[in-house]
């Protein structure tokens, strides 16, 4: 049986490298054109070449998001871009438009076609429709239960991709016009202003109520359902978050990687082990959403009750093995005497105490409290670029 794919997001080249090193089987990224999430950095054509080269050297696939709904004036640019993607050997595009699907075949592009979740595919008839267009995979809408996904995978040989973690839209898989209405920023052109996450005054009989009205959903987190999704024949498990931090990506990708591997190796630990680790990523409130079946507002609506994650201290940029000093891209305050943990992509988490901190002027300091600085800290063992430093949680 083919092992299920772990698919991770990357908004820039650094994040792609984090995904790959921490265990993703495939990454999805956007170019400067035709990609939703225009607020993320996205990749220039030259960066796409480097991304493909780095990922392929680590046996990781690269999927390009081509999921906007193009206009007539985009036609020539579409052809040019599709041919360029084919030339640099990307593995697939994630597409919404039937015209783009048709044009890809006419141009004889070699990469696969994956239908985006923007198409809100919720049933077998839709999947069968795309089979006629020689599509390799359908990314299902996030509004399906585990049982509905199971019934669908039973009756198709098409690859099925399911979202397992990250932010969700309050509308059906992104089919929303609120952003356009309020801010003239088109969600289906990649410029969503996320008005669902604003808080609103709620009026009844002309009187403003005290409670704020919320639309935004909690984040999806499906640790409990990964084994079930594997058992029913899902092909790919997708993490949301091209605009997320390196800390988020490192912890989420590493946790799901370990969970998937443990399932296949029959060495599954107590699920609390994986839940505790993924909580270090800085998630908002989480939910199992529709995977478990019927759900309601109490289970879905984000309440803004959780505080920001302060444990992430930064990412290692380099290490001087002679002086045992690591250069840290600092993100939160830490002090001499703090117990910290080094999270790695190729070894177990290591705990140690901060004993020495140098500021950018090489002055010894007791506290690192400027997140615009890159501090050097004493670490008695060798560390690597892209490893993560976090403050140890007090029990």
Is residue 250 very low, low, confident or very high in pLDDT (cuts 50, 70, 90)? very high
Picking from 142, 174, 118, the residue whose alpha carbon sits closest to that of residue 295 is: 142
CATH ID of 312-391, from 2.40.30.10, 3.40.50.2000, 3.30.70.20, 3.40.190.10:
2.40.30.10
pLDDT (tens digit per residue) in 192-232: 777 877 878 888 888 888 777 777 788 899 999 999 999 99
Residue 164 structure tokens: 């397992």
- Quick one: 5-168+217-300 is in which CATH superfamily? Aldolase class I (3.20.20.70)
CA distance 36 to 242: 10
Q: Give pLDDT, residue 237.
A: 98
Task: Please report where in the chains the tokens 């198709």 appear, as a residue.
Answer: 156
- DSSP secondary structure code for residue 306 in this structure: S
CA distance 275 to 284: 14
Q: Give pLDDT, residue 106.
A: 95
pLDDT (tens digit per residue) in 119-162: 889 999 999 999 988 899 999 999 899 999 999 999 999 999 99
Is residue 39 very low, low, confident or very high in pLDDT (cuts 50, 70, 90)? very low
Give the pLDDT mean for 368-389.
96
pLDDT (tens digit per residue) in 56-106: 999 999 999 988 777 787 788 899 999 999 999 999 999 989 999 999 999
Sequence spans of domains, the chain: 5-168+217-300, 178-214, 312-391
Task: Please report where in the chains the tokens 């984090």 appear, as a residue.
Answer: 18
Cα→Cα distances 249→3, 15, 174, 361, 393, Å:
21, 7, 22, 31, 19
pLDDT of 308 strictly over 60 = no
Q: Give pLDDT, residue 173.
A: 64
Share of the chain above pLDDT 70, in %: 93
CA distance 266 to 260: 10
What is the SS3 assignment for 241? coil
Is residue 248 very low, low, confident or very high in pLDDT (cuts 50, 70, 90)? very high
Which parts of the chain fold into alpha helices (H)?
A: 13-21, 45-57, 75-87, 98-106, 124-131, 146-154, 178-183, 226-231, 246-264, 271-278, 297-300
pLDDT of 307 strictly over 60 = no
Cα→Cα distances 196→170, 187, 214, 227, Å:
7, 12, 7, 32
Is residue 36 very low, low, confident or very high in pLDDT (cuts 50, 70, 90)? low
CA distance 340 to 279: 16
Picking from 278, 168, 282, the residue whose alpha carbon sits closest to that of residue 226 is: 278
375, 389 contact by CB (below 8 A): no
pLDDT of 306 strictly over 60 = no
Residue 221 structure tokens: 């987190």
Picking from 121, 103, 126, the residue whose alpha carbon sits closest to that of residue 113 is: 103
Is residue 190 very low, low, confident or very high in pLDDT (cuts 50, 70, 90)? low
Residue 52 structure tokens: 């493909």
Cα→Cα distances 390→227, 244, 343, 353, 357, Å:
29, 17, 8, 11, 15
Give the pLDDT mean for 38-45.
70
CA distance 29 to 88: 14
CA distance 314 to 80: 40
Q: Regarding predicted confidence, which is higher, 282 or 280?
A: 280
CA distance 322 to 389: 20
CA distance 79 to 372: 42
Residue-wise over 289-314: b if at least 16 C-beta within 10 A, else e?
A: bbbeeeeeeeebbbeeeeeebebbbb
């Amino acid at each position: 049986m083919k092992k299920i794919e772990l698919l991770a997001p990357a908004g820039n080249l650094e994040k792609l490298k984090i995904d790959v090193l921490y265990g993703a089987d495939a990454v999805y990224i956007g170019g400067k054109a035709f990609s939703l999430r225009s607020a993320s950095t996205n990749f220039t054509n030259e960066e796409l070449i480097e991304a493909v080269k780095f990922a392929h050297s680590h046996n990781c696939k690269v999927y390009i998001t081509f999921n906007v709904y193009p206009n007539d004036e985009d036609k020539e640019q579409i052809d040019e871009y599709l041919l360029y993607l084919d030339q640099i050997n990307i593995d697939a595009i994630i597409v919404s438009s039937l015209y783009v699907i048709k044009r890809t075949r006419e141009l004889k592009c070699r990469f696969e076609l994956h239908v985006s979740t923007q198409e809100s595919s919720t049933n077998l008839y839709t999947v069968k429709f795309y089979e006629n267009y020689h599509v390799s995979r359908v990314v299902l809408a996030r509004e399906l239960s585990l049982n509905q996904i199971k019934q669908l995978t039973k009756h198709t040989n098409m690859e099925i991709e399911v979202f397992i973690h990250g932010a969700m839209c309050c509308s059906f898989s992104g089919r929303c016009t609120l952003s356009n209405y309020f801010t003239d920023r088109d969600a289906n052109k990649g410029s969503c202003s996320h008005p669902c996450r604003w808080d609103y005054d709620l009026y009844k009989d002309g009187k403003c109520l005290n409670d704020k009205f919320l639309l935004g959903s909690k984040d999806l987190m499906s640790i409990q359902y990964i084994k079930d999704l594997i058992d029913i024949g899902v092909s790919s498990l997708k993490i949301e978050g091209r605009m997320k931090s390196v800390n988020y990506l490192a912890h989420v990708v590493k946790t799901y990687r370990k969970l998937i591997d443990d399932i296949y190796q029959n060495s599954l630990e107590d699920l609390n082990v994986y839940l505790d680790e993924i909580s270090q990523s800085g998630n908002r409130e989480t939910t199992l959403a529709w995977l478990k079946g019927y759900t309601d507002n109490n289970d879905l609506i984000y309440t803004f009750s959780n505080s920001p994650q302060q444990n992430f201290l930064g990412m290692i940029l380099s290490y001087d093995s002679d002086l045992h000093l690591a250069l840290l891209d600092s993100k939160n305050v830490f002090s001499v005497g703090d117990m910290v943990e080094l999270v790695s992509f190729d070894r177990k988490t290591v705990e140690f105490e901060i004993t020495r901190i140098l500021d950018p002027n090489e002055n010894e300091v007791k506290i690192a409290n400027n997140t615009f600085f890159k501090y050097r800290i004493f670490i008695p063992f060798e560390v690597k670029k892209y490893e993560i430093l976090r403050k140890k949680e007090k029990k």
